[in-house]
Amino acid sequence: MEQKSKLMFASDYQEGAHPSIIKRLSDTNLMATPGYGSDAICASAKERIRRACACPDAMVELLIGGTQTNATVIDALLRSYQGVISADSGHVNVHEAGAIEFGGHKVLALPGKFGKLRAPQIRQYLEDFCNDGNNEHMVMPGMVYISQPTEFGTLYSRKELAAIHAVCREYKIPLYIDGARLAYALASPDNDVSLKDLAVLSDVFYIGGTKCGALFGEAVVVPDPRLIPHFFTIIKQHGALLAKGRLLGIQFDELFRDDLYLDIGKTAVRYAQDIQEALRKAGYELLFDSPTNQVFFIIENSRIPALESEVECSFMEKYDENRTILRLCTSWASSGEAVRRLCGILTRR
């Protein structure tokens, strides 16, 4: 029972789902519906998402997990000879076991700043590619992938996003936004990018469920559905089609009832601020001031075992010979008491 006694702040997918989801799953359990998302609950969920994004014509498809969604969408957007531009820290570049390359596509990694790409950097890359006399021998950049919030929990401002979107327009390639933790962006006081903005400033984005209150599920939004013909078949081909599609419908129907999705990340973000405050007070150096639910701090290697005896956290990377970057993660399910205990442990040191 060691797991129970330790504080669990290693990730934001440690618990089940928002209680309303569990209730609805239970209530609808023996209802018979047609499969593969062709049921009424899915229709309702998709309609709620369209409304929340203010794009009434959008195609919305509900997939199961993040890696699967990225691989499927990217494969749908690219021609076989094209690659996807990503920050070097992008989930598609590092932590998807080569799912993008499995689909035949190169990830064209550019150096990110705490997970973020900048518009001029992308423009420069595209311009250099176009000017390179050998570019017919190279992988053609066919789209841009960014994440909001990024893998570091940082945020693109609306202005930054608009600038990246403008570069994509200029070079006629789609912009795709990975919103695995989107609820924590939407809940951040520092955020000025709404769901409606995403629908205008990107070509495809997904609204993360797995880390944001669902058992699993990611809702892909394609504001202009003509962009991806036969998306259903592509999803099936990628093994990403859930037979009992209504399970996804139920979850997103609940998450988008009464704006739950807009609220669900709020405590997590506040708790992350509390944790950052405690870390600062305790003299830890933060990697940067995080606006969302992930906190990165630098710790001397010698102090890690003691901390880890009480708290599950994530190893990020070596900072230098003697120090390490650790990550603490809150979620919609984090309890105030656990956060207070964590802060106590941190400041006690």
Query: Which residues inside 14-73 make contact with a copy of itself, applying CB under 8 A?
Result: 14-17, 19, 22, 25-26, 28-35, 40, 64-69, 71-72
CB of 159 to a copy of itself, least distance (A): 28
Rule CB under 8 A: is residue 172 a binding residue for a copy of itself? Answer: no
Pick the piece of the chain touching a copy of itself (CB under 8 A) from 79-87, 153-161, 195-203, 288-296: 79-87
> Residues 138-157: x/- map of binding to a copy of itself (CB under 8 A)?
xxx-----------------
Rule CB under 8 A: is residue 241 a binding residue for a copy of itself? Answer: yes
**Cβ closest to a copy of itself, residue 53 vs residue 265:** 265
Q: For tokens 């701090």, what's the residue?
A: 297
Measure the CA–CA gap between 18 and 49, rounded to whole angstroms: 18
Q: Tell me the three state secondary structure of residue 131.
A: helix
Q: What is the separation of C-alpha 286 from the centre of its chain, rounded to a whole number of angstroms?
A: 22
CB of 55 to a copy of itself, least distance (A): 23
**Residue 291: phi, psi to the nearest 5?**
-90, -5
Among 5, 56, 134, 226, binds a copy of itself (CB under 8 A): 134
Among 117, 183, 234, 342, binds a copy of itself (CB under 8 A): 234
Window 244 to 283, contacts with a copy of itself (CB under 8 A): 244, 247
Which of 205-223 are b and which e, b meaning 16 or more Cβ less than 10 Å from the residue's Cβ?
bbbbbbbbbbbbbbbbbbb
CB of 216 to a copy of itself, least distance (A): 6
Measure the CA–CA gap between 201 and 165, rounded to whole angstroms: 6
In terms of phi and psi (left: phi > 0; alpha: psi -120 to 50; beta: otherwise), the region of 115 is left
Burial of 89 (0-12, 13-18, 19+ CB in 10 A): buried
Number of H helices, E strands in the chain: 16, 13
Among 43, 103, 127, 224, binds a copy of itself (CB under 8 A): 103
Among 53, 117, 177, 215, binds a copy of itself (CB under 8 A): 215
**Cβ closest to a copy of itself, residue 181 vs residue 270:** 181
Q: Please, where are the H alpha helices in the chain?
A: 2-5, 19-27, 40-53, 66-77, 91-94, 99-102, 119-131, 158-171, 182-186, 195-201, 231-237, 246-255, 260-263, 266-281, 304-310, 336-348
**Cβ closest to a copy of itself, residue 160 vs residue 312:** 312
Rule CB under 8 A: is residue 320 a binding residue for a copy of itself? Answer: no
The single-letter code of the amino acid at 146 is I
**Cβ closest to a copy of itself, residue 156 vs residue 231:** 231
Window 192 to 211, contacts with a copy of itself (CB under 8 A): 210-211
Rule CB under 8 A: is residue 85 a binding residue for a copy of itself? Answer: no
Among 107, 110, 279, 346, binds a copy of itself (CB under 8 A): 107
Q: Tell me the three state secondary structure of residue 44.
A: helix
Rule CB under 8 A: is residue 104 a binding residue for a copy of itself? Answer: yes
CB of 348 to a copy of itself, least distance (A): 22
Would you state the structure tokens that stand for residue 234, as one six-digit string? 């592509």
CB atoms < 10 A from the CB of 325, how many? 18
Provide the 8-state DSSP code for 167.
H
**Cβ closest to a copy of itself, residue 15 vs residue 285:** 15
CB of 180 to a copy of itself, least distance (A): 9
Rule CB under 8 A: is residue 168 a binding residue for a copy of itself? Answer: no
Rule CB under 8 A: is residue 340 a binding residue for a copy of itself? Answer: no
